[in-house]
Amino acid sequence: MARHKLQVEKIGGTSMSRFPEIIDNIILRKEDEIFGRIYVVSAYAGVTDDLLEHKKTMQPGIYRLFEEQENYPRKLLALRERLVAFNETLADVGLNVEEANDFIGDRIDLSINILRSMENVLASGYVSRTELLLAARELLASLGEMHSGYNAANILVNRGYDSTFVDLSGWDDGRQMTIDQRIKDSFNEIDPYSTICFATGYTKGIEGIMREFDRGYSEVTFSKVAVLLGASEAIIHKEYHLCSGDPLLLGEDVAHPVCNTNYDVADQLADVGMEAIHPKASKPLEINSIPIRIKNAFDPDHPGTLITKNFVAPESKVEIVTGSNKVVCLEVHDTRMVGEVGFDRHVMEIFDKHMVSYISKMTNANTIDLIILERDCTPHLVAELSDNFELVTSKAVAIVCAIGSNIGQPGIMARAAQALAKDQINILAVSQTTRQSNMQFIVNRDEFAGAQRVLHTALCM
């Protein structure tokens, strides 16, 4: 039987928490395609939030307790009990619960001992606090993927399949290796066409995968595995389709799956927080011309959304309406700006100092509007801007975007503006580049949902 080309597939945390369905929908769905597929797995839903902090609300987790030298061992032991209880739910699909409990229990116990040693070193003052805290963060992050990856391989083995747990966490390997070296070394003697591989979304490396990518680390591992092993396609399994709009807001009968798009559109989505894939993970795939397919793990018959480098919709259309209501419009007004070459460079220097990236930027003769994430609009940032410019104000707003690989057509901006005006929605600011892949409308925050509905009806139906 001819081999199909190698696929590297990422399974997200929410999907992993429904692993019995994942077995049927993905892993064993096609009998002739069980092998030749490497699965990079996330931790079960909520586990990394408990270990680090909640990804959306930023509610602190065990890492913060360690950072502030509070009772983190108690929380880790409580997490161990929750993971052991979750293991019990997988007994019916083949998990050897005793082995799984021993595996994660040993690692959590050892983690507590390592963190206690780190705590003593921190107290000594002889080692960089920043570096040691980063090491603790890496250690904690690795636990979630080790748990889910081990369980997945254990279940498949107990069901009679050859399966391999590829532990990229370096838990039992103290060698100093880069992330790329560890991935290559871990897969060096594995034939993915004869075993079902489950690799941890966390990879240990001397450069520290969280130093640059933080919570996007599992997608970076996924991307690197695909590039380094020469995958023909990189597939991301989520619990929903990549749709023309938010199905929860618009209704599942209104928002429809997007069939094809390109990497530029994926970047536009990531910029407002609707990540099809982390932009730093997508770039290597784009450079190596490896297509990404976004699939709904619970709708296996649907082909999903194929993201390729050169796709352009044959007919001009808006593919997706999305946005964020967790943004602020930071307005810098200064009468010295007009005609002054490089004036906005001073604004960007302050942004760079505070490690703040903007989503959108609009300017006129003496005003610069910058749309930034609400969490980045700190009092320190505003204070430093106010010290350097005449008038600095901030306003809680929402950004609504009409995105597509080919939206350039006469009258589309007018159609969007007229639709918003008809619904009594005021446009506070607007932005679009000549590339015409993203029209951005700034509206009052309480009009966020209404603006999406209006634009989706006007542009996507």
The reported pLDDT for the residue numbered 3 is 59
The per-residue pLDDT for range 221-274, each reduced to its tens digit, is 999 999 999 999 999 999 989 999 999 899 988 999 999 999 999 999 988 877
Q: In this structure, are residues 155 and 179 in contact, taking their beta carbons and an 8 Å threshold?
A: no
The reported pLDDT for the residue numbered 2 is 47
pLDDT above 90 coverage of the chain, percent: 85
Which domains are present in the chain?
Answer: 7-239 (3.40.1160.10), 320-459 (3.30.2130.10)
Question: What is the C-alpha to C-alpha distance for residues 382 and 376, in angstroms, rounded to an integer?
Answer: 10
Question: What is the C-alpha to C-alpha distance for residues 233 and 229, in angstroms, rounded to an integer?
Answer: 11
Question: What is the C-alpha to C-alpha distance for residues 46 and 133, in angstroms, rounded to an integer?
Answer: 22
Q: Is the pLDDT of residue 33 over 90?
A: no
Average pLDDT over residues 381-401: 97
| Confidence at 1, pLDDT banded by 50, 70, 90 | very low
Question: What is the C-alpha to C-alpha distance for residues 330 and 212, in angstroms, rounded to an integer?
Answer: 26
Determine which of 123-132, 352-361, 420-429 has the lowest per-residue pLDDT on average. 123-132
Average pLDDT over residues 29-51: 93
Question: What is the C-alpha to C-alpha distance for residues 140 and 137, in angstroms, rounded to an integer?
Answer: 5
The reported pLDDT for the residue numbered 120 is 87
| Confidence at 122, pLDDT banded by 50, 70, 90 | confident
Determine which of 12-26, 82-96, 124-138 has the lowest per-residue pLDDT on average. 124-138
The reported pLDDT for the residue numbered 42 is 96
Helix (H, G, I), strand (E, B) or coil at 318: coil
Average pLDDT over residues 158-175: 93
Which tokens is 403 given?
A: 């995105």
Question: What is the C-alpha to C-alpha distance for residues 221 and 42, in angstroms, rounded to an integer?
Answer: 10
The reported pLDDT for the residue numbered 279 is 84
| Confidence at 461, pLDDT banded by 50, 70, 90 | confident
Mean pLDDT over the full length of the chain = 93
The reported pLDDT for the residue numbered 213 is 85
Length of the chain: 461
Q: Closest by alpha carbon to 10, among 33, 32, 38, 30? A: 38
pLDDT above 70 coverage of the chain, percent: 99
| Confidence at 4, pLDDT banded by 50, 70, 90 | low
